[in-house]
Amino acid sequence: MYSTHEEIKAAVDAYRSHIAGHNRRVLEVFVRFISLAELDPEDWGDDVEDLRVDCFSSVLGRDLRTFISTPEDILKHYDELASRYDLDGCGGPLLTSDEDVSRRELYFSHLESALKGKCLEEVRDRITAPPELRVLAEHVSALTGPGLGCGKSRYQATFWTGAGPQADLAIDAMVKAPEELMVNTPWECAAGWESGDGVDSDFYIVFCRRNRPPDQEAEPWAWRYMAMGPDDCEVFDTIPELLKWYSRFRERGVPDIEDLDEQEVLEGQIY
C-alpha cells in the first residue's frame, strides 16, 4: 500500500533534518579550525581573511561570498545556506512558481506516456507515474543523500535527479522496457527507469512484482525503489522506507579537529 501525503512529508522532514544536522556538526569543526588557523601573509598572501572564506567555496559554491563574509557566518545563516547549497540532501531550493509547478506536471505527464508506451501489455491500462514520487516532488528538488554540497560527488550517489525540464524525447529515452532494465531477480519488471547513479551505485524506480512459481498466485504489481551496488541490492516499497535508509547512505563521520591538515583545508579539501 502506498504512503499518504502526510507520511511522505514527515519522512522528508526527518531525512532533511538528519542530513542538515549532521552537516552542520561537520562544518562546525571546519569553521573552528579555519577561524583559529594562524595564517602568515608571507606564506598565504595578503588576502588571508578572504582565503578563510574561499576554502568553503569548493563544497558550498563559487557565489558563497554573496552571502557570507567570515567562516562564522556559515553557522549564523546555516538554515538558508543548507537549502541553497544542498546541505540537506534535497538537491537545492525547491522552485515553486506557477511555471515551475507546470513544468513538473509536464514531466510526470511525459513520464506516464513513456511508461505506457514501453511497459508490459498486461499493465498498460493501469500503470501511471509513481504516485509517491509525485508527492515527493512537491517537497524536494532531488534526492542527493548525505554529504557536503558538491564535494560529496567524490564518494556519493544521487538516488533521484528530480523532475527537471527534460523534453519528452529525453524522458522517452530514459524509460526502459522490461528487458532493458538491469534489475536483479527475484523481480519481474513491467517498466521503469534508472533514477540516478554515482560512485559504485545505480538506482532504479521500477513497476514490478516478485517472481512466483507457476502454481502460486501472482502478487500485485507495484512501484518499488531499488539501490544496486557491486555486491548487494536494497529494495524499498515506499518513499518513507527509502528515505530512512538513504538519509545515512555513505554518511561520513564528524572529523576530529586534531586530524585536519591546514594546507588541505585551505585548498578546499572539505568533504
pLDDT tens, residue by residue, 148-195: 988 898 999 999 999 988 777 889 999 999 999 988 778 999 999 999
Give average pLDDT by consecutive 10-residue segment, the chain, 271 residues: 94 99 98 86 70 88 90 96 96 92 95 97 97 98 94 93 84 94 86 95 96 85 95 94 98 96 88 80
Kindly report, residue by residue over 246-260, the tens digit of the pLDDT.
Answer: 999 999 999 999 999
Please tell me the predicted confidence (pLDDT) of residue 212: 83
Q: Are 146 and 89 in contact (CB under 8 A)?
A: yes
CA distance linking residue 188 with residue 185, whole number of Å: 7
**Residue 271 counted as domain residue:** no
As to burial, measured by CB atoms within 10 angstroms (0-12 exposed, 13-18 middle, 19+ buried), residue 259 is exposed
How many folded domains does the chain comprise?
1
CA distance linking residue 45 with residue 248, whole number of Å: 40
Mind spelling out the 3-state secondary structure of 125-137? CCCCCCHHHHHHC
Give the residue from 115, 137, 125 showing the smallest Cα distance to 189. 115
Please tell me the predicted confidence (pLDDT) of residue 23: 98
* Buried b or exposed e, range 5-40, using 16+ CB within 10 angstroms: eeebbebbeebbebbbebbbebbebbbebbeebebe
**Residue 219 counted as domain residue:** yes
Please tell me the predicted confidence (pLDDT) of residue 236: 97
Residue 250, domain extent: 5-266
**Residue 119 counted as domain residue:** yes
CA distance linking residue 54 with residue 45, whole number of Å: 13
Please tell me the predicted confidence (pLDDT) of residue 137: 97
Please tell me the predicted confidence (pLDDT) of residue 44: 67
**Residue 130 counted as domain residue:** yes
Phi and psi torsions of 165, nearest 5°: -85, 45
CB atoms under 10 Å from CB of 45, counted, come to 11
What does pLDDT average to over the chain? 92
Give the residue from 105, 96, 196, 178 showing the smallest Cα distance to 142. 196
